[in-house]
Amino acid sequence: MIGIWALGAYLAVILLWTTVIKRSVGEA
């Protein structure tokens, strides 16, 4: 169970960070 939660959190962070980077690049 812990592994599943860790994987889910990891993917969520990647998606969030990717969105932030895209917004930064788009604004720039």
Prediction pTM value: 0.61
Mean pLDDT of 1-17: 96
- Higher-pLDDT residue of 26 and 13 is 13
Query: How many structural domains comprise the chain?
Result: 1
pLDDT of residue 17: 98
CA 7, 9, 14, 15 torsion: positive or negative? positive
In angstroms, rounded to a whole number, what is the distance separating the alpha carbons of residues 4 and 14?
A: 15
Residue 11: band (very low, low, confident or very high) from pLDDT cuts 50, 70, 90: very high
Domain boundaries, position 8: 1-28
Residue 17 Cα to chain centre, angstroms: 4
Main-chain dihedrals φ then ψ at residue 23, nearest 5 degrees: -65, -40
- Residue 6: is its pLDDT beyond 90? yes
pLDDT > 80? residue 1 = yes
Tokens 């969520």 belong to which residue? 12
According to the model, what pLDDT value does residue 20 have?
96
Tokens of 27: 């604004």
